[in-house]
Structure 1
Amino acid sequence: MFDAMRWLNEPPHWSVEDEALVVTTGNRTDFWRETFYDFVRDDGHFLGRDVTGDFTAQVTLAGQYETLYDQMGLMLRVDRNNWIKAGVEFTDGRPHLSCVVTRDFSDWSVVAAPDVGDDVTLRLTRHGSAVRVQFRTVGGDWRLLRLGYLPLPATCRVGVMACSPQRAGFTGRFSGFAVTGPISPDLHA
């Protein structure tokens, strides 16, 4: 599953164990552009593959979140100016669901992770230039985290990302990563 993927900013430590990817981040890594903080960071760790057309990517996350902004999740990337990252991020003393949509400037939304358990399963679906991010509850229901716009070429890259903007050594485990055909565009089914 991870064999056909390639790194952007390979982390100092990573391995595949029992079909899961385990990543330990480098020092002060992140993906961010301009907004509020007035800096550009494009040195987070992203393992991705090319995908053409509409698709759904899914993964289950388990991390050792300890320090402000420790994060891991899915990433859809066109280039350094256009991308989405969504997953779990440590802020305000606990893990939150997080999504950043970047079109030259990054925006950030977070919500306390309701009813998701210790591991968090996310999926990201491309429907043309619309991108839907969802999370699965403990009960198995999918809930919408974000519906966003991103100008996408026919082929873009999708995969998993991990960052630790305040330190080195955040460790995360990605399991069940898969890219399939897109789920139904019906938001309220």
Structure 2
Amino acid sequence: MTDIEWASGTWTNEPVSVELADDGMRVTAVEGSDAWRITSYGFVHDTEHGLLATLAPGTAMEVSFHLDFSAQFDQAGIFVKVDESTWIMAGVERSDGEDSLGAVVTRGVSDWSLSPVPGWHGRIVTIRASRSGDALTIRARVDDEPWRLVRVAPLDPAAAVTAGPMCCAPSRAGLTVHFTAWRTGEADASLHPDH
């Protein structure tokens, strides 16, 4: 994997502040920032903070961050965008008092999945989005533990796609996420690497 320069991305929505340092990028989210379309809640939110660069066919992108959330719906990870109503957001979200790994897949309306990740708090989480054929495969891990599959979602092979670090703070002011890495490389060789 090759590092991507933080300055090479373009924000979907400007955060409160961005601080660059040798150990990464610290992003402070706007209170109420979120990404969602319609399902169950009935609203459209498109105020996420996504720092996006090109995600070409046959490539993968990884985003790493320090997990230290404390408030309902604090979240960070990767945002993969085709257009205003077609996007995928994957990472860790604080929901109902616990950190959960999940994804929101949106094709006109949003589809959300979550799975608790006890023991990940205070550690470095990496989310990997791999674009191959007609699919985007999302994997995640904490520190150097094995990758786990999060989601396989359809993605138009001909679409122009951008992706990169993302954070949102739907319920509070003052969320600052410390992103430690942003990298790109070749797409995963297969959906089931051990087979």
**Which TM-score applies when normalising by structure 1?**
0.93
2:65 counterpart SS class: strand
* Distance across 1 between alignment mates of 2:142 and 2:27: 24
Does residue 16 of structure 2 align to residue 15 of structure 1? no
CA contact (8 A) 1:64 1:171 kept: no
* Distance across 2 between alignment mates of 1:128 and 1:67: 37
Deviates more, 1:92-101 or 1:128-137: 128-137
User: What's the counterpart of residue 89 of structure 2?
Assistant: 85
Deviates more, 1:99-108 or 1:172-181: 172-181
User: What's the counterpart of residue 143 of structure 1?
Assistant: 148
Letter in structure 2 aligned against 1:183: D
Q: How many residues align?
A: 189
User: What's the counterpart of residue 177 of structure 2?
Assistant: 172
RMSD: 1.7
User: What's the counterpart of residue 61 of structure 1?
Assistant: 65
* Distance across 1 between alignment mates of 2:158 and 2:29: 29
2:82 counterpart SS class: strand
**Which TM-score applies when normalising by structure 2?**
0.90
Shift of 1:43: 0.7
* Distance across 1 between alignment mates of 2:144 and 2:184: 23
- Cα deviation code 1:118-172 (max 9, x no counterpart): 2211211111221111112555311111111133534210101110111221111
| Identical positions, percent | 33
Q: Structure 2: any 5+ residue segments left out of the alignment?
A: none
Q: Structure 1: any 5+ residue segments left out of the alignment?
A: none
1:3 counterpart SS class: helix
